[in-house]
Amino acid sequence: MTIGFSSRAASTACAFCVAGVLALGSSAAAAPTAADPAQPGAPGEAGSPGAAIPRPALLYRSGTQVRPRRGAPEVPDVSALSWLVSDAESGEVLAASNAHRALPPASTLKTLFALTVLPVLPGELQHRVSPEELTGIGPGSSLVGVAEGHTYRISDLWRGVFLNSGNDAVHVLAHLSGGWDATAGRMQAKARSLGALDTHVRSPDGYDTPGQVSSAYDLTVFGREGLRNPDFARYCATAEAQFPGDGDGSYGIANTNRLLTGADGVEAYPGLIGIKNGYTSNAGNTLVAAARRGGRTLVVTVMNPQAGGGFTVYEEARKLLDWGFAAAGHVDPVGSLDALRARPGPHPRSGPAAASTPPPAPGHGPSMRSTASPAPSDRSVPPTRSAPAAASASAATLRADVGGDGGGWSEAGLVVGAAALGGAAMALVLRLASRGNSGR
- Mean pLDDT for the chain overall: 78
Enter the DSSP assignment of 221. H
Given a cut of 90, is residue 85 above it in pLDDT? yes
Given a cut of 90, is residue 88 above it in pLDDT? yes
Up-side HSE of residue 197: CA atoms within 13 Å toward CB? 11
CA distance 322 to 316: 10
- The residue type of 20 is G
Contacts of 282 (CB under 8 A, 6+ apart): 104, 208
- pTM confidence score: 0.70
CA distance 420 to 426: 10
* Coil vs helix vs strand at 358: coil
Q: Please pick, among 82, 165, 177, 356, the residue that the annotation labels catalytic.
A: 165
Averaged pLDDT, 354-373:
35
Given a cut of 70, is residue 412 above it in pLDDT? no
Averaged pLDDT, 58-69:
97
Given a cut of 80, is residue 370 above it in pLDDT? no
Given a cut of 90, is residue 341 above it in pLDDT? yes
Annotation says 110 is catalytic: yes
pLDDT tens column, 220-248: 999 999 999 999 999 999 999 999 998 88
Annotation says 107 is catalytic: yes
Q: Please pick, among 82, 86, 110, 356, the residue that the annotation labels catalytic.
A: 110
Given a cut of 80, is residue 387 above it in pLDDT? no
For the chain, how many residues are written?
A: 440
| pLDDT at res. 109 | 98
CA distance 258 to 264: 7
Most confident among 52-56, 195-199, 392-396 (mean pLDDT): 195-199
| pLDDT at res. 53 | 86
Least confident of 181-195, 301-315, 372-386: 372-386
pLDDT tens column, 101-147: 999 999 999 999 999 999 999 899 999 999 999 999 999 999 999 99
Averaged pLDDT, 87-114:
98
pLDDT tens column, 26-54: 444 333 333 333 333 333 333 344 568 88
Enter the DSSP assignment of 165. -
Q: Please pick, among 82, 86, 107, 215, the residue that the annotation labels catalytic.
A: 107
Given a cut of 80, is residue 374 above it in pLDDT? no
Confidence of residue 421 (pLDDT cuts 50, 70, 90): low
Up-side HSE of residue 94: CA atoms within 13 Å toward CB? 29
Beta 240-244 vs 151-153: how paired, if at all? unpaired
Contact assessment for residue 151 and residue 127, using Cβ atoms and an 8 Å cutoff:
yes
